[in-house]
Structure 1
């Protein structure tokens, strides 16, 4: 009875929201499902492709009385539609006894030779730079974008479950996805209207955001950053399309013939233009590819329509479905311009058909194209402020004119629904739990304070034993102009309290002028990075690791005070000027010494370093995208390079500072998307210290005695094993994203991902600095005679959350307690 009510309810909903809907499965004579079969409404260009299990769903606002079903090697079948909604269709195709005209037919893989579809594809490649806005010197257009998140796969069992008891009113207005046929409930909506200007001669483009409106949880940074990930732009003519940190081979790629099968299926007039229909689907499983079809004009070879759907076997986590469709309009009889871009992502823990999840949908509509209107270069340099308060407070009249595509009834109802939900205590409890797990902070709204970070509450090290920590921060909203933060910690072995507190103030939003400062008195594992820490709130994972390799007893007492001024005169270019005063001493003197020769000391040896430094840091992050305009912003992409140049001047005598020295350091980190071969991350660091300084101020080649895989460290080095005053390091790590394992039958279904890494370090340590330091329990040496190097082989995506690395030491195996081999790992959620 429950199933009957669910089907009845679903059918009723669908009948009132669309003209024609079909759903079913396509099989062969033996009952085996036929994947990638072509389904099309008769006498139209509207169609879809069956999934890996032969299932399909399609709907249209138009009324059709028949569908055509076809697949290579089978007879095409036309099936009449007796009513507007046809669910549970079972379509059987019989094998063809004839070949299609002009096409050599193969079952499964298609020939690359004598294939007219590939001939057309080659013409698309040769013409792609002549289509769209590239044909004109200058261009401009209006752009309207809406992003929506919905709960999906809602049935009567879910509605009546204890989880939603008292929240049944949420499900009064359900709709059905025209892509998957599943019921869904809209929960979040963001709208943006902007004007885009471009100049192909100067290679300039700018986008002026004129309106931005959100419903739902727009104040939550984690949700907002996740939503922003759907904003990533793509061009279907590019060889590779990036979604969720993965590079998918475009069906229009020049490498497409190696990973796709192409079939010339049909031809017809679309908007008075003769177009060919080409179906494509993957040659192999588990690769990052699509299935679908596209319509291409027979003279310009410009795309008129395209739809792309990620196959369920693709090596991507937590995303059950990615569907993209683009429509192009014809201008001046020969120019094809993008009119509408639609993308749907189905996020779910499982890829099973019945699994529930969340839809992320983006719709972008383009209109009012205008060409060859030149503007001076200053016009493109003067970028509008996307966080202007007026952008977020546009009235009803503005949005009525700005919406190039009207909101449907369900989208319009999101605003009212969320206002109601926020008043329901049970829903608020659910929201708070998810928010705490995502951000690590417990929100206390009435005090405008967050308690946390909860993930730093418990720790352990050799100096403190068991360690407990509690902290808090001010939080009025994600765009706060100032923020205070602090913590207290207690070690049960040393029986000492520790603390840290900081304050940040944004004085000028346009130039991002920020004044910050703070103090920290704590125990820290230094030597995990080549740059000395100036973070009064952060803490390295090595300082609280529950399990370590070898004797992890080289810990330092640190008392650090900082004051800094930061500004961003040019987008993604930061200048930081400040000062710091620190005192350093060993937290375990019997095991680890920071002593140095001090003629002014009665014993000739001092155990504590006092140092005042002046710092100037330049940071350039081209391509970095952020959200928010407050004192703290969130990054929403990780494909940008980072260049850092830091100069440190140690001042002797000021505040009893001990040493006068200079240090210059440079680092460059760059991720590289190597087409369909995965992602390479590279980094280079260089540095030199001028002047004599003790161990506590030297540059330590970063070791790792934890069991965690950490980038930019050497996992087979102990802390302080190599110490330098001049150094150079290189790190290379490549993730093939399963491209190799997908070719091995026994491993293919596991969706594992292979990672390889190699790293090296060279350095020098002067005799003067060796003589100045007086450690009695560790040797001081640098990798000067030969470059120290390591390599690693890793397996990622184990159970979708685990990565294990096998690390090998290349040389310096005669060092005391040298570790020739080690295993590290890490947990995490990644696509």
Structure 2
């Protein structure tokens, strides 16, 4: 995501024109801004709502000569527009003189009792389950979508800067946003056309992508994936609308009356349907809410038109504005179906009015609805390939027929301009820089190789001391059917080279049949996960952490070879069968021993484990979405669950393997969106080992001696503090996304986020396994007397990037050098 946003700032193209443009501020008689005032072109339904500071901007492709400004408690004001463009307007509203006979509505918080707007809202709730597509057994419709990204707040300082020297031609045509009034420079355009089929009785829906076209970035699934994740579908009738991993309370929500103020503002004919106009705005600041208005029909109580703008105080990072418009058409005189959906997001490092950023705009148009044409269930199970090269190679005739909304002259120019930009050396340089920062790889196009990743160059641990690493991978394109990758590293204390190499090949696209294999010789901290590592390229953060709590000296030399066959017979259901051969020994024998009793050894003790395993894995990820059709695909969402079942068979004798054993492990990870109360992340994991194995093959309860907050570990446990052959663990972490802190006046403006965690594990270790590893120099203890547990309180979004967790140990405080309390943290760019 960062790569894409940064790249946008260095790309280019142009804009649109409008016939009427107005902008300015609305104030009262004392000069104080009037927030959430209604601003409309006279005799139209085209309007907007002033922001928290009373400012507004509005434009239309039609020409209007008057503007109407109103708000409850003030006299409605009608202003003549002297020109097509009227900026910097200062509109003064006077307090109303007339009193309403029955209902008295005040500026600010509105009453929940005797409020006609809330009476209408309750009727919307009663009807929402039978409106729109839900009225029919089956449905079909055409869908056209265009996505545009623009660099905004273009001024003379930016145009004359050294950054754009030699690229001045990109500023030949500039325009202003009809939503924000800012000058912008288009950078990217994506179009897609598809056919959607659905069956309400079967609860099935599928979308066939017929065509997809990108400006200047042919077949760039990374950008498409970013767009799909950014602009996931939503239903305004749902209680919560999810954007950027946050749940915003819908103004049509049943909980809306506790979150929003509602005002019945007007009633009028909209497309020959009598509708009520309701204005809404939040009751409190710093919550994930909108402001805006909607028009609702007086008989079906279906929404005809709605506007939603995220409030400036909403607890969300890197997004200054979100603006949504939806329009519905009337079918058969009573059925309201979605006709057009428009969404604009303004990405910026801060929310100051003058700050530059990037607009992300999505326009979706729906047409040609047909109903009650049944399809067999198998029809919905057969999914077409959205990344078929044919889909990306549609000609101009196809797009002329499938565009449900024509491109304006400026959007048409984006394709030509970006093709020109790709030939400009300076633009190529900028693009390469942001590509390296975003992906971590340096592209060597003439060799089809990437060097990197650059973020793994430096490391440190007690065994290697300072460590440097370099790597490379083959890269012909995003949909490569095969990939080779490798690295080499050197430790300055142990004076040894390490390496890793892997190869993977996609043999069949339909079934996702992949074979892979590799070898790695390295030093690793194996006490960070319950599952044995099969990664021949990666490395845990605990193996390279510069700062740790206590001695990070329980490190292992690992020589790992793997071979795997994987396929996906059903969508999101993978079957993997693999074999591995590993040699394990302590990297620091004086501090950490993997010794075990071995009657075949001359000394009766061995310090090295050789083990051959065969593992079968079943992995189910319902709801997971990916992009690409090559050997490596990218995930474009993170709200899916993961169910994993592993069966491992250790075979002795083969390749001098040491042990016969069986191991069964199951884990279930699930994110839960708890309405407006944030997001809960949960993981349940159980496992058992059958047979006698030494310490290096047992299940170590994941400790964490680093200063980083690492999910699925126990931050108050040292590495190898608990060792098991039978275990069950639970991890819960809930992020309230600032809902509690927003109620505290002194903390409200800081936009902090509260995180709570609870984790526990029970485990056992047989006497036979304890005796087998008796020569080791660390105690072998399992949490079998009682469940070991911890809890934590965290504060996130500190300066928008930092998070600190305060972790408390619940029991086993008598263990040697037990840590009752710890502080960990992390940083990152999160919405």
TM-score, structure 1 normalization: 0.97
In the alignment, which residue of structure 2 is the partner of 1:765?
Answer: 765
In the alignment, which residue of structure 2 is the partner of 1:58?
Answer: 58
In the alignment, which residue of structure 2 is the partner of 1:625?
Answer: 625
In the alignment, which residue of structure 2 is the partner of 1:8?
Answer: none
In the alignment, which residue of structure 2 is the partner of 1:5?
Answer: none
Map residues 159-238 of structure 1 onto 2, 5 A cutoff.
Answer: 159-217=159-217, 223-238=223-238
Give the CA deviation at 1:713: 0.3
Give per-residue Cα distances to partners, 1:539-596, cap 9 Å, x unaligned.
Answer: 0000000100011100000000000000001110010001000000000000000000
Moved more, 793-802 or 375-384: 375-384
Give the CA deviation at 1:213: 0.8
Q: Partners in 2 of 1:339 and 1:101 — Cα distance? A: 39
Give the CA deviation at 1:95: 1.5
Q: Partners in 2 of 1:460 and 1:550 — Cα distance? A: 15
In the alignment, which residue of structure 2 is the partner of 1:702?
Answer: 702
Greater relative contact order, per chain length (Cα 8 Å cut-off, separation 6+): 2
What secondary structure, in the 3-state scheme, does the structure 1 residue paired with 2:405 have? coil
In the alignment, which residue of structure 2 is the partner of 1:800?
Answer: 800
Give the CA deviation at 1:684: 0.3
In the alignment, which residue of structure 1 is the partner of 2:440?
Answer: 440
In the alignment, which residue of structure 2 is the partner of 1:552?
Answer: 552
In the alignment, which residue of structure 2 is the partner of 1:481?
Answer: 481
Map residues 165-564 of structure 1 onto 2, 5 A cutoff.
Answer: 165-217=165-217, 223-564=223-564
Give per-residue Cα distances to partners, 1:503-562, cap 9 Å, x unaligned.
Answer: 010010011000000000000000101000001011000000010001110000000000
What secondary structure, in the 3-state scheme, does the structure 1 residue paired with 2:230 have? helix
In the alignment, which residue of structure 1 is the partner of 2:4?
Answer: none
Moved more, 703-712 or 411-420: 411-420
Q: Is the 8 A contact 1:28 1:93 kept in 2?
A: yes
In the alignment, which residue of structure 2 is the partner of 1:4?
Answer: none
Map residues 41-80 of structure 1 onto 2, 5 A cutoff.
Answer: 41-80=41-80
Q: Is the 8 A contact 1:666 1:685 kept in 2?
A: yes
Give the CA deviation at 1:15: 13
Give the CA deviation at 1:375: 1.3
Give per-residue Cα distances to partners, 1:227-250, cap 9 Å, x unaligned.
Answer: 222330100000000000000000
What secondary structure, in the 3-state scheme, does the structure 1 residue paired with 2:547 have? coil
Q: Partners in 2 of 1:730 and 1:81 — Cα distance? A: 64
In the alignment, which residue of structure 2 is the partner of 1:636?
Answer: 636
What secondary structure, in the 3-state scheme, does the structure 1 residue paired with 2:426 have? helix
Give the CA deviation at 1:197: 0.6
Give the CA deviation at 1:159: 0.5
Q: Is the 8 A contact 1:103 1:264 kept in 2?
A: no
Asked if 1:109 is matched to 2:123, the reply is no
Q: Partners in 1 of 2:57 and 2:828 — Cα distance? A: 34
Q: Partners in 2 of 1:336 and 1:219 — Cα distance? A: 36
What secondary structure, in the 3-state scheme, does the structure 2 residue paired with 1:434 have? helix
Q: Is the 8 A contact 2:144 2:365 kept in 1?
A: yes
Q: Is the 8 A contact 2:563 2:579 kept in 1?
A: yes
Q: Partners in 1 of 2:564 and 2:282 — Cα distance? A: 54
Give the CA deviation at 1:107: 1.8
Q: Is the 8 A contact 2:16 2:409 kept in 1?
A: no
Specify whether residues 535 and 15 from structure 1 end up closer, same or farther in structure 2 by C-alpha distance, changes over 3 A only: closer
What secondary structure, in the 3-state scheme, does the structure 2 residue paired with 1:643 have? strand
Specify whether residues 740 and 168 from structure 1 end up closer, same or farther in structure 2 by C-alpha distance, changes over 3 A only: same
Give the CA deviation at 1:216: 3.4
Give the CA deviation at 1:222: 5.2
Q: Is the 8 A contact 1:328 1:340 kept in 2?
A: yes
Q: Partners in 2 of 1:609 and 1:522 — Cα distance? A: 15
Q: Is the 8 A contact 1:211 1:392 kept in 2?
A: yes
Q: Partners in 2 of 1:212 and 1:294 — Cα distance? A: 33
Give per-residue Cα distances to partners, 1:248-296, cap 9 Å, x unaligned.
Answer: 0000000000110000000000111000000000000000000000000
In the alignment, which residue of structure 2 is the partner of 1:718?
Answer: 718
Q: Is the 8 A contact 2:804 2:824 kept in 1?
A: yes
Q: Partners in 1 of 2:214 and 2:83 — Cα distance? A: 39
Give per-residue Cα distances to partners, 1:142-182, cap 9 Å, x unaligned.
Answer: 00011111111111111101111111111112222111111
What secondary structure, in the 3-state scheme, does the structure 2 residue paired with 1:389 have? coil
In the alignment, which residue of structure 1 is the partner of 2:3?
Answer: none
Specify whether residues 289 and 775 from structure 1 end up closer, same or farther in structure 2 by C-alpha distance, changes over 3 A only: farther
What secondary structure, in the 3-state scheme, does the structure 1 residue paired with 2:527 have? coil
Q: Is the 8 A contact 1:727 1:762 kept in 2?
A: yes
What secondary structure, in the 3-state scheme, does the structure 1 residue paired with 2:528 have? coil
Give the CA deviation at 1:16: 8.3
Q: Partners in 2 of 1:556 and 1:375 — Cα distance? A: 58
Specify whether residues 398 and 579 from structure 1 end up closer, same or farther in structure 2 by C-alpha distance, changes over 3 A only: same
In the alignment, which residue of structure 1 is the partner of 2:133?
Answer: 133
Give the CA deviation at 1:482: 0.6
Q: Is the 8 A contact 2:15 2:175 kept in 1?
A: no
In the alignment, which residue of structure 1 is the partner of 2:664?
Answer: 664
Give the CA deviation at 1:775: 4.0
Map residues 678-827 of structure 1 onto 2, 5 A cutoff.
Answer: 678-827=678-827
Specify whether residues 218 and 797 from structure 1 end up closer, same or farther in structure 2 by C-alpha distance, changes over 3 A only: farther
What secondary structure, in the 3-state scheme, does the structure 1 residue paired with 2:771 have? helix
Q: Is the 8 A contact 1:267 1:276 kept in 2?
A: yes
Q: Partners in 2 of 1:188 and 1:676 — Cα distance? A: 33
Q: Partners in 2 of 1:485 and 1:100 — Cα distance? A: 75
In the alignment, which residue of structure 1 is the partner of 2:86?
Answer: 86
Specify whether residues 101 and 439 from structure 1 end up closer, same or farther in structure 2 by C-alpha distance, changes over 3 A only: farther
Give per-residue Cα distances to partners, 1:762-798, cap 9 Å, x unaligned.
Answer: 0000000000013442100100000000000000000
TM-score, structure 2 normalization: 0.97
Q: Is the 8 A contact 2:219 2:392 kept in 1?
A: no
What secondary structure, in the 3-state scheme, does the structure 1 residue paired with 2:516 have? strand
Q: Is the 8 A contact 1:294 1:306 kept in 2?
A: yes
Q: Partners in 2 of 1:221 and 1:531 — Cα distance? A: 32
Specify whether residues 162 and 276 from structure 1 end up closer, same or farther in structure 2 by C-alpha distance, changes over 3 A only: same
Q: Is the 8 A contact 1:219 1:477 kept in 2?
A: no
What secondary structure, in the 3-state scheme, does the structure 1 residue paired with 2:629 have? coil
The answer for unaligned runs of 5 or more in structure 2 is 1-12
What secondary structure, in the 3-state scheme, does the structure 2 residue paired with 1:825 have? strand
Give the CA deviation at 1:428: 1.4
What secondary structure, in the 3-state scheme, does the structure 1 residue paired with 2:815 have? coil
Q: Partners in 2 of 1:158 and 1:745 — Cα distance? A: 38
Asked if 1:588 is matched to 2:588, the reply is yes
Q: Is the 8 A contact 1:15 1:85 kept in 2?
A: no
What secondary structure, in the 3-state scheme, does the structure 2 residue paired with 1:63 have? coil
Specify whether residues 15 and 513 from structure 1 end up closer, same or farther in structure 2 by C-alpha distance, changes over 3 A only: closer
The answer for unaligned runs of 5 or more in structure 1 is 1-12
Q: Is the 8 A contact 2:15 2:411 kept in 1?
A: no
Give the CA deviation at 1:692: 0.2
